[in-house]
Amino acid sequence: MSHRDYFVGIDVGSTAIKVALVDAQGQLAGVHVTESGSLFHKNAREALKALLEKFGVTREQVKYLIATGYGRKLFKEADDSISEITANAIGAHEAGKAFGGVRTIINIGGQDSKAIQIDDQGGVTNFAMNDKCAAGTGRFLDVAARNLEIDLEELGDYHFNGKGAPLTINATCTVFAESEIIGLLASGHGKEEVVAGIHYSIAKRTVRLAKRVGIEDRVYFDGGPALNKGLVAAIEDELQRPLVVPEHPQTTTAFGAAMLARSEYLAEREAA
Amino acid sequence: MTVTPIHPVPSNAESHDAAPAFNRSRQAREAEIALDRITDDFDGNPAAMQYFYDLFRRVYIQGEPLPHEGKLIGTTCIQAPDELIYAVGATPVRLCNGSYHYDQIGADFMPAKSCSLVKATLGMLQTENPVPRICKPDLIVNPTTCDQKKKASVMMEGMGHTVYDLEMPNAKESEEARLYWRRSVRAFAHKLREVTGKKLTRKALKEAMARTARAQAAFRTLHNFRKASPAVVLGKDVFLVTNAFFFDDLDRWTAAVEALNAELTQRQAEGFQAAQRKAPRILFTGSPPVFPNLKLPVLIEEAGGIVVADETCSANRMLYDMTAVDEWLLHDMVDGLADKYLKPCTCPIFTRNDDRRRRLLELAAAFQVDGVVYQSFAGCQVYEMEQKSVAETLNAEGIPMLYIETDYSPDDMGQLSTRIEAFLESIKTRKRKSA
């Protein structure tokens, strides 16, 4: 393999498109994240182009490309596609090596949340996903932030600035939770306590999901909402263990797909 | 494609009137989408499957009336003995429905979190001109299985149907249960006499049992073809075949399955492969796939897996177990029939499920199964509750199981395909490692 060869994983998710670039040595060379919008396919192509331009790589240098995420089948330019569960497992396994290895993955995405158990080689041994409902997902945080009229990025700060105990959000449905939040604000509760309450409500659901697959150390937390430090703290509290949160939690799955692209390329060359 | 009717035109013109378009459109479209997927998304469909594809097109999409001899007896469960119905010159039709359209209509009768199958069946029975064209059976036999089906009797009566509760025991191991059930079956035979005016005779029952046994033998042959690796037939087609058993003419169904078997014999001799050699082999269990809701088996096979066996009441459980008779006297025959319907039944309504777990392990071994997919309709408590013990039994033998809670709505397709693909990928990884 030439040192100028690259491999790409593209994760076409419900909220964001994540692209990861891996070099010939299997090192992460760069990532790019854009919003999915309504034109999945066009935006995915543009995201790939933007990533390659950003790192000065030509399309010809990309030897293998694997698509994952909800829109994986629509991205026909890919050499292959893989479910985001398998891609997430590979990505977390590789990224988790720096932390001493991970065996459980919690992923919260735009419209679903998952818990995955992996073996010491990154193979999926068990997994669970939330039912068809946005409760406990990134979308839930979006809706809540909008109700509270604060930016998504501010949720973490609000979480730690509360004076009282976190409030309890009972509703498990995003739509009902919305009216519950409005009700709590109307009765004079502070935004901080509401935010903490939302984080604990998501944390409880997520930990229940993780218990279904079995929790083993270390626990890796990824997906866009892992950028929210308040949510990380709430999950750690519910889990009663520390979480491993990577530097780019949004792109673990795309990275996994890129790593798989590299090993598929190697395997195909070996077979040829 | 030109379609010539295979069903004889019934003499009473009334039931031949086309159902109003507003009533059929959504249901027919749903059926059409499902059928097109089953036929067009796959290469190399057996030629003998065309009979079944056409049958579903006529009955579910074009609304062709169902043929029947004598009285039409609707059944809501496989526990109602078909043989008794045939023996009094009547025709059974299984009413269990798989349409999302009727599920939504039936939602008016049941609590929000109820089984799609029960709701869809109620929805169909509530509809003026339903498709399939089962307008008003002369009698509906409702075995008292799960709570939702039990409570459906009164609702069906409220819609103007005549309903008979076929009483079932809660357990099946005890002698008391066996005796109770035998008495229920005998009472049912009396009820049939009342409805049809015909007495159950030894000769007629023997004949009915022979016809059913021939159908079962054809099914068993088909079932055994699925042991082959690489596979010669896909699960989506077998589900369609067994679904046709719900409403098709018994002897014609048997002949069509025998034709399919003949083609599979030839295919096997020619080394035909219906799927890739390494395709993960899946055993399907749980809530029954009923057309048009074959979404889970179809998703599995679209994702590159192959459903090689099943443990469901819309296929294997309905057809596999044969009747054993000690003495060919009417009483013994009816008792033997009753035993066949109770003893091997692996429905989760019973107190224990040792038999079900044992059968799953047997199927897994005999069909070289790589993994099990367990479907539970949301709101089907008994399947939901048995999930854990089944998973434990399978996992103890190193067989992975994917548990999926779903219903008839198509909106979780994307999520389900992700889960199924991940499951198949994990099976492949596991196999590569152990190789």
Q: What is the tens place of the pLDDT at every residue in B371-424? A: 999 999 999 999 999 999 999 999 999 999 999 999 999 888 888 999 999 999
Nearest Cα neighbor of B383 from B345, B411, B350 is: B350
**Range from A24-33, A98-107, B371-380, B408-417 carrying the lowest mean pLDDT:** B408-417
Smallest CA–CA distance, residue B365 to chain A, in Å, is: 21
Q: Estimate the share of chain B in helix, then strand, then coil, as percent rounded to the nearest 5.
A: 55, 10, 35
For B425, the closest chain A residue by CA position comes to A86
Instruction: Locate the chain B residue with the closest alpha carbon to A118.
Output: B426
ipTM above 0.95, yes or no: no
Q: What is the pLDDT of residue B5?
A: 42
Q: Does A37 or B369 have the greater pLDDT score?
A: B369
Q: Is B428 on the interface with A (CB under 8 A)?
A: no
Q: Between the CA atoms of B296, B342, B389 and B433, what dihedral angle is there, to the nearest 10 degrees?
A: -60
pLDDT tens for each residue of A140-161: 898 889 989 999 899 999 999 9
The answer to whether B367 and B309 are in contact (CB under 8 A) is: yes
Encode pLDDT of A45-92 as tens digits.
999 999 999 999 999 999 999 999 988 988 888 999 999 999 999 999
CB–CB contact A85 B412 (8 Å): no
- Mean pLDDT (chain B, rounded): 92
Look at residues A87, A76, A71 and name the one whose alpha carbon lies nearest to residue A20.
Answer: A87
* Structure tokens that stand for B323 in this block: 């009747």
pLDDT at B365: 98
Q: Which helix (H) or strand (E) holds B75?
A: strand B72-75
Q: Measure the CA–CA gap between A161 and A176, rounded to whole angstroms.
A: 26
pLDDT over 80 at B23, yes or no: no
Low-confidence winner among A94-98, A183-187, B181-185 (lowest mean pLDDT): A183-187
The more confidently predicted of residues B178 and A142 is B178
State yes or no: pLDDT of B13 exceeds 60. no
Average confidence score pLDDT of chain A: 92
pLDDT over 80 at A208, yes or no: yes
CA distance A121 to A124: 9
Closest CA to B38 of B293, B272, B279: B293
Chain A with chain B: Cβ pairs closer than 8 A: 43
Q: Which residue of B has its CA nearest to A115?
A: B419
pLDDT of amino acid B10: 42
Q: What is the mean pLDDT of residues B150-175?
A: 96
A132 — contact with chain B (CB < 8 Å)? yes
- Tokens found for residue A28: 């992460």
Is B201 part of the contact surface with chain A (CB cutoff 8 Å)? Answer: no
A42-51, B2-11, B328-337, range with the lowest pLDDT: B2-11
B252 contacts: CB under 8 Å, gap ≥ 6: none
Over residues B324-338, mean pLDDT: 93
Q: Looking at residue B24, what is its pLDDT?
A: 55
Segment B14-23 shows an average pLDDT of 47
B203 in contact with A, Cβ within 8 Å:
no
Contact B347, B317 (CB under 8 A): yes
A271/B contact by beta carbon, under 8 A:
no
Is residue B20's pLDDT more than 60? no
Q: Strands A6-12 and A16-23: what pairing?
A: antiparallel
